[in-house]
Chains A and B, each alone.
Chain A
Amino acid sequence: MIRIVVNADQIDVARELAGIEGKGAGAVASFTGLVRADDGVGSLELEHYPGATEAGLMTLADTAAERWGLIDATIVHRIGMMHPGDRIVFVGTSAPHRAAALEACAFLIDRLKTDAPFWKREIRAGTPTWVEPRRSDEDIAQRWGDPAA
């Protein structure tokens, strides 16, 4: 089963993990992204493209589920205002064996960073700055092949 959540709520990792255990899975892998306190970042604001973001994440999860034969895939992404230490994103995968779960989890977070319409704004001492995309993120995402695949 695929579960996609995009909202301003705090991410409950224990609950998300529990949701993808069982049903014949032998392996569960997950990634949790946190807000860093880089260079005095006091808060971080996440903007998204309502509708297109959820649809894009669903397409990514479908692609991963088919490519790695996943049992479950969950993507939870927060939007709105966050602070250092808060969870921004959770990706969880379950499969019969570890290789599929681990690889699919890495694929999902790598691709999410370059393909899903989210934009970050860092706020330092009250001054907001839009985060620039990192070339390294695009290079990392490329290792999984054609985005349309």
Chain B
Amino acid sequence: MEMEILYFAWVRERVGTGHERVDPPAEVTTVNGLIDWLSSTSDRHADAFADRARLRAAVDQVFVQLDASVANAKEVAIFPPVTGG
């Protein structure tokens, strides 16, 4: 289940990249599951995702809750709460 992961703002800075292509195991079915799995891949990811309450996500460019499914997702974005305007 290969997918593109995008990071923005301080999440991008802490992870150390704006995007990466990953192939998570089949047990990863939700955004939360994906964040858990990504956290296991490096200390940088674990640090960026340490405070889950400060994370928001979009699946294929649609804003979702962290319990949303990532089945068949092509692109998942993980970022802090937005501050535009």
Residues of A that sit less than 8 Å from B by CB: 33, 46-49, 51-52, 55-56, 77, 88-89, 109, 112-121, 130-133, 137
Chain A: CB-nearest residue to B56:
A117
Contact residues in A for B63 (Cβ distance below 8 Å): 56, 115, 117
Q: How far is the CA of A33 from the CA of B85 in the complex (A)?
A: 7
Contact residues in A for B77 (Cβ distance below 8 Å): 49, 52, 117
Say yes or no: A121-B84 contact (C-beta < 8 A), given A52-B61, A52-B77, A115-B63.
no
Say yes or no: A131-B83 contact (C-beta < 8 A), given A47-B9, A49-B6, A117-B8.
yes
Contact residues in A for B9 (Cβ distance below 8 Å): 47, 119, 121, 130
Q: How far is the CA of A89 from the CA of B79 in the complex (A)?
A: 21
Residues of B that sit less than 8 Å from A by CB: 6, 8-10, 58, 61, 63, 77, 79-85
Pair B82/A116 contact, Cβ less than 8 Å = yes
Given contacts A49-B79, A116-B82, A118-B84, 6 further A-B contacts (CB under 8 A): A48-B84, A55-B61, A89-B85, A113-B85, A117-B84, A119-B8
Q: How far is the CA of A6 from the CA of B82 in the complex (A)?
A: 16
Q: How far is the CA of A47 from the CA of B12 in the complex (A)?
A: 11
Q: How far is the CA of A118 from the CA of B83 in the complex (A)?
A: 6
Say yes or no: A47-B8 contact (C-beta < 8 A), given A52-B61, A52-B77.
yes
A64 to chain B minimum Cβ distance, whole angstroms, is 15
Pair A77/B84 contact, Cβ less than 8 Å = yes
Say yes or no: A119-B58 contact (C-beta < 8 A), given A49-B8, A130-B10.
no
Chain B: CB-nearest residue to A116:
B84
Residue of B6, B63, B80, B83 ringed by the most chain A CB atoms within 10 A? B83
Q: How far is the CA of A132 from the CA of B6 in the complex (A)?
A: 20
Pair A118/B85 contact, Cβ less than 8 Å = yes
Contact residues in B for A51 (Cβ distance below 8 Å): 61
5 closest A-B pairs by CB: A118-B84, A119-B9, A113-B85, A133-B81, A52-B61
